[in-house]
Amino acid sequence: MIESKIWMATSSDDKYKEAKEVLAEFGVELGRIDVEKIEVQADDPVEIVEYSLRQMEDDGRVVVMEDAGIFIEHFGGFPGPYSSYVLERLGNPGILKLMEGVENRRAHYGSAVAIRRGSEIKSFRGYVRGTISESIRGTGGFGYDPIFIPDEGDGRTFGEMTEEEKNVISHRARAFRKLGEWLASSP
């Protein structure tokens, strides 16, 4: 039985908007609980969202959380789940500076979405592979979008794409689609 309304615990307007649009494809209404999640330091975004959901008070609502990161091959997958901290400290110009002269610009975005229904927690992952651009390109999206060129695109960064174009292939959209499919098929 598909849940008609679930709640996303997030402080990010951008993440909430993207998740809401994707889940609407499955007839799921997404409400929002504005919280700063208690984030455990872990290398796996699934561990982070599952831990955060367990720390939230259970008021009977079905709640989802999402965590994502960009994993740059040259840096052994860094910044990964520490992406928001690195973005806050260095920004995209700092990442590009660190990558000056680097030949291996391969990276992937990874997203983990976890849902809590009663005592059950289930997680879903979404990925998109690509490369780090040589310069900041585009003003759309958020985070690392202006420097990430997805393999499945046409050479533009996520920052150069419309929201609709990005939502077709983004890591977050893929994870939320898996959640939507699970909700549609679960009892």
- Report the catalytic residues: 67
What's the CA gap between 170 and 158, in Å, rounded? 8
Count how many residues are written for the chain: 187
CA distances 6 to 1, 2, 53, Å, are 13, 10, 14
What's the CA gap between 165 and 167, in Å, rounded? 6
Work out the end-to-end distance of the chain between its first and last CA atoms, rounded to an integer number of angstroms. 5
What is the greatest pairwise CA distance in the chain? 53
